[in-house]
Amino acid sequence: MQLEIASIKPDNPNALLHLGIIYKQLGNPDQALDSTLRSLELKPDNPDAYLNLGIIYQDLNDNDKALAVTLHSLDLRQNWKSGITNLKSIIEKLNIQPSNIKNAVKAYELPLNRTDVSHQGLSDVFLKAYLHIIREALIPTEIVAEGNEPLYRSSIGDSENLSHYQSLRTQMSKDS
């Protein structure tokens, strides 16, 4: 029926959106993408279309675009559980890099404002992405020769702290 509506009314954004859903379900992501994009040309403020577009981009393995359009759908319809759920599935697959870091951070912060959504998956993704940076930040820059324990003690406190520092340093060396 949607195919008939779309062919009779090719300028109907809802028909084009549903046609995109049908194409996706039939395993035709390129046609789904085309139909959904045409729907958005006619009705650019439709959060449902942006959410579906994000799902299509995921199917096409373009998680950066999927993230961007899903975030846009959540800008248009805030507190949308379906959008948050899709956002979580995207961020778990996302390869965080400088080109997408702003969207990735926004994707992480968005669910933090919602108490009904689990954040464990997102936290794990960010921890994995930034663990090397966190580890580097934990190791202080050495300004004295290695083995100069009295100077270490004076810079970090008592011998208990020194032992903790040395064990942390040993662990970080093993993990690297």
The pTM of the full predicted model, rounded to 2 decimals, is 0.59
> Does residue 112 register a pLDDT over 70?
no
Q: Give the Cα separation of 172 and 139 in Å (integer).
A: 8
What is the pLDDT confidence band of residue 4, given thresholds at 50, 70 and 90? low
Least confident of 60-69, 84-93, 121-130: 121-130
Q: Give the Cα separation of 159 and 149 in Å (integer).
A: 9
Model pLDDT, residue 129: 65
> Does residue 14 register a pLDDT over 60?
yes
What is the pLDDT confidence band of residue 1, given thresholds at 50, 70 and 90? very low
1 compared with 64, residue with greater pLDDT = 64
Model pLDDT, residue 103: 72
Q: What is the mean pLDDT of the segment spanning 52-62?
A: 93
What is the pLDDT confidence band of residue 56, given thresholds at 50, 70 and 90? very high
Longest Cα separation, the chain: 85
172 compared with 95, residue with greater pLDDT = 95
14 compared with 149, residue with greater pLDDT = 14
Question: Looking at the domain that runs over 2-128, which CATH code has it been given?
Answer: 1.25.40.10
On whether the CB atoms of residues 91 and 108 are closer than 8 A, the answer is yes
